[in-house]
Chain A
Amino acid sequence: DVKVTQSSRYLVKRTGEKVFLECVQDMDHENMFWYRQDPGLGLRLIYFSYDVKMKEKGDIPEGYSVSREKKERFSLILESASTNQTSMYLCASRRDPPGEQFFGPGTRLTVL
């Protein structure tokens, strides 16, 4: 079974702090994704990566950056957290399109 793990289930940070969210997959998948999920809005794509050291902006990249130095790991970085970044963050991976995306359990981030 594919396993996608995220570094934290719950995280509380203060405005202006730098925040790292890490995601690791164990199935040698090429593609990895970061989404945020807010009530009534569904999942929105922040960034994705189709290979090591490659990254592409999604629909809402502002205020975020990413890093993919190794195939199994995809990190989401909030350089200076703001209250409007309070959300559920979901990481996903897939082998290649149009394959199924496998999701991690999510990180609920609260920015105070």
Chain B
Amino acid sequence: KNQVEQSPQSLIILEGKNCTLQCNYTVSPFSNLRWYKQDTGRGPVSLTIMTFSENTKSNGRYTATLDADTKQSSLHITASQLSDSASYICVVSAVTSYDKVIFGPGTSLSVIP
């Protein structure tokens, strides 16, 4: 069964600190993995995308890694800001006739001053 799991479920960190969010998946055959950021009351917005051959991708203070062998990904946030408070969703696509997309449950991040 295609599944995406994320940990932790929620996280509180101090402004300026770093944090790492985890994503494990059992999606096959793998197509790509995206991390989305969803602010409260808004739709998700894509941060990064990685395909099978990529193992790291950065977008400003966000760095995503992918280990396709262990089927794990992480999202590292450097020097967190209050605006990083959001839900972060790991999304994995499977190669099917129509590129099936499986969403993780998300990690809720709160950055406090």
Contacts and interface: CB of A to CB of B under 8 A. Distances in A.
Interface in B13-46: 31-32, 34, 41-46
A6 B32 CA distance: 27
Interface residues of A, number: 21
Contacts of A98: 31-32, 93, 99
A45 interface: yes
Nearest to B39: A105
Given A40-B105, A41-B105, A105 B43 contact: yes
Contacts of A104: 43
Nearest to A4: B43
Contacts of B104: 42
B45 A42 contact: no
A103 B43 contact: yes
Interface in A78-112: 90, 92, 97-98, 100-101, 103-106
A34 interface: no
B44 to A, nearest CB: 5
Contacts of A40: 9, 105
Contacts of A47: none
Interface in B73-113: 89, 93, 98-99, 101, 103-106
Nearest to B106: A42
A73 to B, nearest CB: 17
Interface of B: 4, 9, 31-32, 34, 41-46, 49, 89, 93, 98-99, 101, 103-106
For the complex of A and B, list the 9 residue pairs with the smallest distance between their C-beta atoms, beginning with the closest.
A103-B43, A97-B99, A42-B105, A43-B103, A42-B103, A100-B46, A98-B99, A103-B44, A104-B43
